[in-house]
Chain A
Amino acid sequence: MTYAIEAFNISKKIGDKAILSNISLLIPRGVVYGFLGANGAGKTSFMKILMGLWRTDSGTIRLLDKELKGGDAVYRSVGSIIEAPIFYQESTARRNLELHRDYLLGVEPGRINQVLAMVGLLEDSDKPVREYSLGMKQRLAISRALLGRPELLILDEPLNGLDPHGIRFFRELVKEINEKEGTTIIVSSHILDEVAKVANTIGIISGGRMVAEIPMQSIGDNLGDLEETYFSIVQGKGA
């Protein structure tokens, strides 16, 4: 089996505080992996390390079979949203995507309209991002992440700010991209139900440690069981 993400013994301290402790994680290609944890559990920190925004104190990471060294070519095949949807506020949505294209290279013509249409922003694409609601920014961030037809999508709390409509839409989009293009997707959230509905596997992080991995097949439709499992795991082993 080949993996989209292979993390070995990742640790990170800030000052004296251990943010991540010995995280090891294997995410096979082609899955939707839910990364579940309370606020401050270490989800964003881990994803920042995956995207090279943070250095690790120890451990190694391989993305799509390439070991990370910094500024890696592999990021051409990785789409991401980290922490919050961030844009040049004064530029239009379209301009923001054009800038993104200029850095990725090799994006086919027409792809910008395609991804804008996918997230339902084609009509608003000539407005400056400053006029966008958080939900619209979140959608735009998803379209930007998809622009380069990534093999791997790293989405940190992509559901923040989405209304129920947007959440359902996002869920369907994730399924579609995963099934049609075979994209590996890692989605973090602090809301259990949301992750459970899109993921094949759920990884639970607590106090900077991976505490469990649960295949969704073993849960079936009974999300109540998942909640019980989650709390017993987190309270048993967590910080």
Chain B
Amino acid sequence: MIMVAKNRLTGLSHSLEMVQLLRNETGRARFPQYILVLIIGNVLSLFLAVSSSGVMSGSSPSGLSTVDLGMMLMRSVLIVWQAVLIAQIVIGEYQSRTITVLFAYPYSRGKIITSKLLLISSIMVSAHLISTLVQHVAVFFLQSTNPAITFTMQNPLNIVAVSLSSIFLAFLPMAIGMKFKSTITTIVSSLVIAAIVSNTQGSSAGILSNPVIAIVLGAIGLAAGIYTYKNMLKEDL
């Protein structure tokens, strides 16, 4: 009985610690900057998607619907942006060695890093959700203005699978950046990844638009992320 109560208490204090750590991380996050990036990214993707849908020439050179093109561009933006967040929130602490101050606090390394990764993941899930809505709604209303602007609707399950996979995949730059403790490496590697997955030669909307390939890439990103996390827990600093 006492043991159960004690376990519950430790369970409670564990989750309270997580709440406190998340609150600290959120307090340091730069939300106005994030909103600005989201707006610019969406407007730019939409603009490029619309203008390359053949509004001028009358036919789409890629054979893609405007929505699919916009989503592909937006996902590339989000992959790079996620790397910027990872650089700011995780890798930057290693590069400047402020992580040694964080790890000397009365919290386990696991909780400190988890709170950082949770913050990044929540921002990214929201960003993908918002961007998907924005692209679809915008193109839906724009299609009546010009026949070259085309709206198609993917299976929502596909969209979810591809979005989640690209979030996982975008943890691959964290693994690469941690190897060198370098924010620049993190961001540059994400540019390479974004370029590869949105290359339209493999599949018309980039290989990431294929759910099966997306899930495989997501699994690779997830594995790299878990490996890096485990190293962070035991690394001598």
Residues of A within 8 A of B (CB): 14, 48, 51-55, 70-76, 78, 80, 82-84, 86-89, 99-100, 102-105
Partner of B106 from the list A14, A55, A75, A99 (CB cut-off 8 Å) is A75
Residues on B with beta carbons closer than 8 Å to the beta carbon of A48: 236-237
Q: 18 extra interchain contacts, Cβ-Cβ under 8 A, other than A71-B111, A83-B97?
A: A51-B104, A52-B103, A52-B104, A55-B236, A70-B109, A71-B106, A71-B107, A74-B106, A75-B105, A75-B106, A80-B104, A82-B104, A86-B98, A87-B98, A89-B96, A100-B101, A102-B23, A103-B106
Distance between B65 CB and nearest chain A CB, rounded to angstroms: 44
Q: How long is the Cα–Cα vector from A74 to B107 in the complex, in angstroms?
A: 10
Indicate whether B231 reaches chain A with its CB closer than 8 angstroms: no
Q: How long is the Cα–Cα vector from A164 to B24 in the complex, in angstroms?
A: 38
Contact B236 A53 (CB under 8 A): yes
Residues on A with beta carbons closer than 8 Å to the beta carbon of B109: 70-71
Contact B237 A54 (CB under 8 A): yes
Nearest A-chain residue to B105, judged by Cβ: A103
Distance between A209 CB and nearest chain B CB, rounded to angstroms: 20
Distance between B106 CB and nearest chain A CB, rounded to angstroms: 4
Q: How long is the Cα–Cα vector from A100 to B24 in the complex, in angstroms?
A: 10
Contact A86 B96 (CB under 8 A): yes
Nearest B-chain residue to A100, judged by Cβ: B101
Distance between A112 CB and nearest chain B CB, rounded to angstroms: 16
> What are the nearest 7 A-B pairs in CB distance?
A71-B108, A75-B106, A103-B105, A54-B236, A76-B106, A53-B237, A51-B104
Q: How long is the Cα–Cα vector from A82 to B100 in the complex, in angstroms?
A: 8
Distance between B27 CB and nearest chain A CB, rounded to angstroms: 7
Q: How long is the Cα–Cα vector from A88 to B100 in the complex, in angstroms?
A: 12
Indicate whether B20 reaches chain A with its CB closer than 8 angstroms: yes
Q: How long is the Cα–Cα vector from A88 to B30 in the complex, in angstroms?
A: 15
Interface string of B106-120 (1 = CB under 8 A from A): 111111100000000
Residues on A with beta carbons closer than 8 Å to the beta carbon of B110: 71
Q: How long is the Cα–Cα vector from A48 to B100 in the complex, in angstroms?
A: 9
Q: For chain B residues 73-126, which have a beta carbon within 8 Å of chain A?
A: 96-98, 100-112
Contact A75 B104 (CB under 8 A): yes
Contact A99 B236 (CB under 8 A): no
Indicate whether B234 reaches chain A with its CB closer than 8 angstroms: yes
Indicate whether B230 reaches chain A with its CB closer than 8 angstroms: no
Indicate whether B6 reaches chain A with its CB closer than 8 angstroms: no
Interface string of B15-39 (1 = CB under 8 A from A): 0000010011001100000000000
Q: How long is the Cα–Cα vector from A131 to B122 in the complex, in angstroms?
A: 34
A73-B100 contact, Cβ under 8 Å, with A48-B237, A53-B236: no
Q: How long is the Cα–Cα vector from A82 to B108 in the complex, in angstroms?
A: 18
Residues on A with beta carbons closer than 8 Å to the beta carbon of B104: 51-53, 75, 78, 80, 82
Nearest A-chain residue to B97, judged by Cβ: A86
Give 7 A-B contacts (CB < 8 Å), ordered by A residue: A51-B103, A53-B103, A55-B234, A71-B110, A75-B104, A76-B106, A80-B104
Residues on B with beta carbons closer than 8 Å to the beta carbon of A55: 234, 236
Q: For chain B residues 204-233, which have a beta carbon within 8 Å of chain A?
A: none
Q: How long is the Cα–Cα vector from A89 to B104 in the complex, in angstroms?
A: 19
Q: How long is the Cα–Cα vector from A223 to B102 in the complex, in angstroms?
A: 39
Residues on A with beta carbons closer than 8 Å to the beta carbon of B24: 99, 102-103
Residues on A with beta carbons closer than 8 Å to the beta carbon of B237: 48, 53-54
Contact B100 A99 (CB under 8 A): no
Residues on B with beta carbons closer than 8 Å to the beta carbon of A84: 97
Partner of A72 from the list B96, B102, B106, B236 (CB cut-off 8 Å) is B106
Partner of A88 from the list B98, B107, B111, B112 (CB cut-off 8 Å) is B98
Residues on B with beta carbons closer than 8 Å to the beta carbon of A104: 105-106
Interface centre among B20, B23, B98 (most CB of A within 10 A): B98
Distance between B127 CB and nearest chain A CB, rounded to angstroms: 24
Q: How long is the Cα–Cα vector from A89 to B106 in the complex, in angstroms?
A: 23
Residues on A with beta carbons closer than 8 Å to the beta carbon of B101: 86, 100
Nearest B-chain residue to A86, judged by Cβ: B97
Residues on B with beta carbons closer than 8 Å to the beta carbon of A14: 236
Q: How long is the Cα–Cα vector from A73 to B107 in the complex, in angstroms?
A: 7
Q: How long is the Cα–Cα vector from A105 to B13 in the complex, in angstroms?
A: 14
Distance between A42 CB and nearest chain B CB, rounded to angstroms: 14
Nearest B-chain residue to A141, judged by Cβ: B101
Q: How long is the Cα–Cα vector from A72 to B106 in the complex, in angstroms?
A: 5
Residues on A with beta carbons closer than 8 Å to the beta carbon of B105: 75, 103-104
